Amino acid sequence: MIHPIEYRYRFPEMYALFDEESKLQKMLQVEVALARAHARIGAIPKKDARAIAAAAKRVKLERVKKIEKRTHHDVMAVADALAEKAGAAGKWVHMGATSYDIVDTMWALILKDAAVLLAKDLKALKKELRRLAKKHRKTVMVGRTHGQHALPITFGLKCAVWLSEVQAHEERLQQLQKRVLVGKMSGAVGTFAGFGTTRVQKLVMKELGLGEPGATNQVVQREGMAEMVAFTGIVAGTVEKIAKEVRNLSRSEIKEVEEAFAKGQVGSSTMPQKRNPHKSENLCGVARVIRSNVMVAMENIALEHERDLTNSSAERIILPESFVLTDYSLRQMASILHGLNVYPKRMRENLEADEYVMSESIMLALVKKGVPRQKAHAMVKKAAMASFTRGRDYRATVAKAASAWLSGKELDKAMDPHSYLGESTRVVDKVLRECR
């Protein structure tokens, strides 16, 4: 084993969808559906279709691989192995089909199952984000922009932003399945010449629970598959966003949240005190791999003429990688959030240590007293810059500048972070209602 998804970055359910045995069983399922469709339109005897279905249960991967060594063609090896087991009925196996009638329909079946697992993963992640957003809807902390303190926010609102994004991913996944989960049974260049009818494709897809494409050449057009892979890239971006925030808020000088640290866990081989956010760092790295596959999927759209083979080798790599790693990332992130240590006291300390974050509140309090907005901005900025560069007390400096308009009590209110959270709790509650 040389690829980390084989032994490290995976969960068994998703990984199993892309292994050789799974792909073989999906191809056999398509071949059986094809035989049944032929029988339904009277092209082959029904008993022979039943014989082919029974034979599919006896086809072994070892035999397919042995035949492939001779044929140098994976789909022909499957068809030959199935025909061997079907006896006299074997003469009907793969009739009228081209290889990618089987392969593309196989991929659609695999991606259909993968979508079910991703939907489950997104639901689990939503559950953890809902819990955190609800629990911390009033947990005040400093908001940061450009890496600098900005205005007060709540940790619940931060989680609600992530929750809303994951909800959008759920909706995307539902929408794109209608476009992407389609198979084909239209022959070598999409003309249905080998079948003489479009009914075979309709019957096959109905049996397999897949949609029909509008038109194909030798393959289902790759813009749909590119959309599916792009979806994994977008999801990976959200996971990385959350993971990066966990990492940054875990910094020693911030320490507002922290990954769970298990008994016996080691942070460093040489620094005993280390409690590193290594799981979040891991997910940020994995996200880079998932996103890199999106470009490959885009490149696969522009095949030559009715098709070439350049997409095939790439898809054997990027599809397992993208879906196994996305499943891994979503499940790991849900686990990180489930065990996340949140430190409201440290959040309050960091916020209270920086009175500058209330500058907008002071400015708007002046505006309410009749000071033109631009003048109020200039006044507060001057006080802030003087305090910062000369080491003066900010409250005293701004109090002096605003004394003609704001009383000490009014200034205290304007500098109270809890009084400047706006509609934060209502936004959190709205997201919680919408993201059930």
pLDDT of res. 433? 96
Burial of residue 263 (CB within 10 Å: 0-12, 13-18, 19+) is: exposed
pLDDT of res. 273? 87
Residue pLDDT, tens place only, 362-386: 999 999 999 999 999 999 999 999 9
Does any domain span residue 133?
yes
Catalytic: which of 3, 73, 268, 403? 268
Q: What number is the average pLDDT over the span 300-321?
A: 94
> Is residue 347's pLDDT more than 90?
yes
pLDDT of res. 262? 85
Catalytic: which of 72, 146, 252, 305? 146
* Same domain for 339 and 362: no
- C-alpha to C-alpha distances, 116 to 16, 59, 112, 113, 223, nearest whole angstrom: 14, 27, 7, 5, 21
Does any domain span residue 88?
no
* Same domain for 207 and 144: yes
> Is residue 107's pLDDT more than 90?
yes
Q: What number is the average pLDDT over the span 270-292?
A: 94
Query: Residue 264 maps to which CATH number?
Result: 1.20.200.10
* Same domain for 410 and 279: no
pLDDT of res. 147? 94
pLDDT of res. 265? 87
Residue pLDDT, tens place only, 46-82: 999 999 999 999 999 999 999 999 999 999 999 999 9
- Give the percent of the chain with pLDDT over 70: 100
* Same domain for 392 and 339: no
Mean pLDDT of the chain, nearest integer = 96
* Same domain for 222 and 282: yes
pLDDT of res. 392? 82
* Same domain for 206 and 320: yes
Residue after which a domain boundary falls, among 313, 332, 348: 348
* Same domain for 340 and 203: yes
Q: What number is the average pLDDT over the span 20-42?
A: 98
Task: Summarize the chain as % helix, strand, coil (round to 5).
Answer: 65, 5, 30
Does any domain span residue 18?
no
pLDDT of res. 436? 84
> Is residue 125's pLDDT more than 90?
yes
166-201 b/e with 16+ CB inside 10 Å = b?
bbebbebbeebbeebbbbbbbbbebebebbeeebbb
* Same domain for 400 and 322: no
Burial of residue 434 (CB within 10 Å: 0-12, 13-18, 19+) is: exposed
Does any domain span residue 54?
no
Residue after which a domain boundary falls, among 348, 371, 396: 348
* Same domain for 220 and 142: yes
Does any domain span residue 83?
no
pLDDT of res. 268? 86
pLDDT of res. 96? 95
DSSP 4-30: GGGTTS--HHHHHHTSHHHHHHHHHHH
Q: Torsion angle, CA of 26/32/35/36, rounded to 10 degrees?
A: -120
* Same domain for 303 and 401: no
**CA angle, corner 49, sides to 44 and 54, nearest 5?**
160
Does any domain span residue 284?
yes
Does any domain span residue 50?
no
Q: What number is the average pLDDT over the span 287-296?
A: 97
Does any domain span residue 77?
no
Range of the domain at 416: 354-424
- Give the percent of the chain with pLDDT over 90: 93
* Same domain for 397 and 319: no
* Same domain for 239 and 120: yes
Q: Is 146 a catalytic residue?
A: yes
Query: Residue 405 maps to which CATH number?
Result: 1.10.40.30
Q: What number is the average pLDDT over the span 410-422?
A: 96
> Is residue 296's pLDDT more than 90?
yes
Q: Is 377 a catalytic residue?
A: no
pLDDT of res. 141? 98
Q: What number is the average pLDDT over the span 400-425?
A: 95
User: Number of structural domains, the chain?
Assistant: 2
Contact assessment for residue 402 and residue 366, using Cβ atoms and an 8 Å cutoff: yes
Residue after which a domain boundary falls, among 348, 371, 395: 348
Tokens for 330, please give them: 């979503």
